Amino acid sequence: MKIMKFLSLVAMVLLVVSCNKNGATKKPITTELDSVSYAIGMDVARNVKASFDDFENDLFVQGFKNVLDSTDILMDEAQAQQVIRTYFQKKQQAEAEKRKEAGEKNKAEGEKFLSENKSKDGVQTTESGLQYIVLKEGTGAQPSATSKVKVHYHGTLIDGTVFDSSVDRGEPSEFGVNQVIKGWTEGLQLMKEGAKYKFFIPQDLAYGANPRPGGAIEPFATLIFDVELLEIK
């Protein structure tokens, strides 16, 4: 078991023990050590809330006190470590299976969406599978793979969920054409300054199996972007 997880559990014990039946004791912060102790408590609490859907506080406290008192210990150290390892292994396996199922579902839904979308009015498909609609054609220069561009964009999943939008933030983004996902790199080079396109990006030209952790984009998700090429830098 990783040391930080172990320390988090130990710190959680301290948090729970510091609580009485009426709730947490309200000890004032008067020293630097008090501040550090409280800040660690806050940080650990967030980690524990993220790691456990449920937690048996009474047994948690019981185990802690039994070890301190060296009395009534219900399992030896090796057993305890095995219980903890087994719990987290099962949790990781369950999460991996859940991600796999979500990925398979997303892949199938994305393929179905793109298959139906490609025959709609105005939709063009490149050799790679990128689909796009020209919402407004531009008249300026056309970027290359090594260009830096300034764009406005609005990104959604195929169900309409917005996951990122410079338009909503009210601030354009700047980046290199070859520093983004493959669908963007290809799509931007089809545009001219002043153009606005809608991209339908297959999962293999987006984030595939490895989207950003904790974000709205799940594995193998097909993405939709409205992109306006404002300027080539």
Instruction: Determine which one of 153, 197, 200, 220 is catalytic.
Output: 153
Tokens of 183: 């669908």
Instruction: Determine which one of 132, 199, 200, 225 is catalytic.
Output: 225
Pairing of strands 124-125, 131-136: antiparallel
Query: What per-residue confidence (pLDDT) applies to 8?
Result: 53
* 220 is a catalytic site residue: no
Q: Which domains occur in the chain, in start order?
A: 3-74 (no CATH), 116-232 (3.10.50.40)
Query: What per-residue confidence (pLDDT) applies to 49?
Result: 72
Q: Is 24 left (phi over 0), alpha (psi -120 to 50) or beta?
A: beta
What does R_g of the chain's alpha carbons equal in angstroms?
Answer: 26
* 207 is a catalytic site residue: yes
* 84 is a catalytic site residue: no
Q: Tell me the pTM.
A: 0.65
* 87 is a catalytic site residue: no
Instruction: Determine which one of 132, 197, 200, 207 is catalytic.
Output: 207
Of 156, 202, 211, give the one whose Cα is nearest residue 183: 202
Instruction: Determine which one of 132, 164, 197, 232 is catalytic.
Output: 164
* 153 is a catalytic site residue: yes
Give the range among 26-30, 37-41, 50-54, 130-134 with minimum mean pLDDT: 50-54
Instruction: Determine which one of 60, 88, 163, 175 is catalytic.
Output: 163
Query: What per-residue confidence (pLDDT) applies to 5?
Result: 54
Query: What per-residue confidence (pLDDT) applies to 201?
Result: 97
Residue carrying the six token digits 């172990």: 6
- Which range has highest mean pLDDT (40-44, 66-70, 166-170)? 166-170
Query: What per-residue confidence (pLDDT) applies to 180?
Result: 95
How confident is the model over 70-74, as a mean pLDDT? 81
How confident is the model over 95-109, as a mean pLDDT? 86
Q: Reply yes or no on whether the pLDDT at 3 is more than 50.
A: no
Query: What per-residue confidence (pLDDT) applies to 210?
Result: 87
Pairing of strands 148-157, 131-136: unpaired
Q: What percent of the chain has pLDDT over 70?
A: 85
Instruction: Please give the mean pLDDT across all residues of the chain.
Output: 85
